[in-house]
Amino acid sequence: MPIAGHEIGCANLGNGLRVLSQAQFLEALGRHRKANVRKEGGEELMPPILQGKAINPFIPKDLIEKSRPIVFLTLSGARASGYRAELLPEVCEIYLKARDAGQLPSNQEHVAKQAEILIRALAKVGIIALVDEATGFQYDRPRRDLEEQLKQFLSEELRKYVKTFPPDYFKHLCRLRGVELRPDMKLPPYFGKLTNNLVYRRIAPGLLQKLKERKEERGKASNKLFSWLSEDVGLRALLVHLGTVIGFMKVNTDYKIFEHQLDQIAQIYPETPGLFDNPADWEVPKD
């Protein structure tokens, strides 16, 4: 979770609790991630960020129980320790109240300064989240993110025709489909549908539809779909994917087996991402 220049690890647990990484919680407030912890019987009494005589009078009684660390397992199976997410603004308020009352010692002034920065950042994020929730925008965000991501793949103008699909692609596609390949032949019309499924639907969610829309709006029926791909992202992604497709074609004699193997490493994307999909995770070739 990026907040006020810090990256704080966070998790949404199966029981509904939202937690923040214990170490990064401390760092965000200007404390060492391995600050000394007071324990009794092996159990942590209070997080180090709440230890200190100066702030004791400003700590609500019901906060003690809520401030106990929560141990959980990450998706990778590692043990982690964190605090309830709502504890962060409450701890910030404690330090700010102690500072306003003139009770905070000089060696803790930096903590109050960090608390003020965090409170302001949380307020900004909070109001945006409330508006998003009230308007239902959080359910619409994946689609909007998709639109922004796809812009990288598309070219505003028709690229000059270049022979993008190598002969090997059509040669092996004919072989796997049992179609005789002749120099003077026209490829069967259904090869276009096969190519859509084998290529365009596996590069990015919704890319095929966007290419068709771009072609319909600005091009001609004779324009190839790849002619509307951007040079820096779209075309490079296509060429990388074609290399993968042709590689699997070459080692197979059965179309269904080839398609099944391709599914294992380059699945067909949904037309739109789900609520929890992150478009930034889509693979784009890097230099």
* Under 8 Å between Cβ of 228 and 164: no
Higher pLDDT, 118 or 286: 118
Residue for token digits 């230099």? 287
Phi, then psi, of 74 in degrees rounded to 5: -80, 175
pLDDT at 284: 52
103-110 contact pairs (CB < 8 A, 24+): 103/54, 103/55, 103/57, 103/58, 104/54, 104/55, 105/54, 108/52, 108/54, 108/55, 110/30
| Between 229 and 221, residue with greater pLDDT | 229
Specify the residue for token string 């709006």.
217
- Distance in Å from the first CA to the final CA of the chain: 28
Tokens 């991402």 sit on residue: 273
Residue 39 clears pLDDT 70, i.e. is over it:
no
pLDDT for the residue 66? 82
CA distance 117 to 97: 14
CB atoms within 10 A of CB 208: 21
Residue 70, pLDDT > 60, answer yes
pLDDT at position 35 is 47
Q: Mean pLDDT across the chain, nearest whole number?
A: 82
Span of 86-100, 227-241, 250-264 with lowest mean pLDDT: 227-241
Residue corresponding to tokens 């005589």: 53
Tell which residue, 220, 173, 228, has the closest CA to residue 195. 173
Distances (CA, A) of 164 to 192, 241, 242, 287: 15, 12, 10, 20
The pLDDT of residue 187: 86
Per domain, the residue ranges of the chain are 2-135, 146-281
Q: Determine the Cα–Cα distance for residues 176 and 250; give it in Å rounded to an integer.
A: 9
Lowest pLDDT segment from 61-75, 129-143, 175-189: 129-143
Among 149-158, 205-214, 241-250, top mean pLDDT goes to 241-250
The residues that bridge with 81 in the sheet, in sequence order, are 71
Q: Has residue 5 got a pLDDT over 90?
A: no
- pTM of this structure: 0.49
Instruction: Note whether 53 and 17 are within 8 A (CB).
Output: no
Q: How confident is the model at residue 199 (pLDDT cuts 50, 70, 90)?
A: very high
Which of these ranges, 32-36, 93-97, 152-156, has the smallest mean pLDDT? 32-36
Confidence of residue 174 (pLDDT cuts 50, 70, 90): very high
The CA dihedral of 62, 63, 68, 72, to the nearest 10 degrees, is: 100
Mean predicted confidence (pLDDT) in 167-189: 90
Q: Mean pLDDT, to the nearest integer, of 84-107?
A: 91
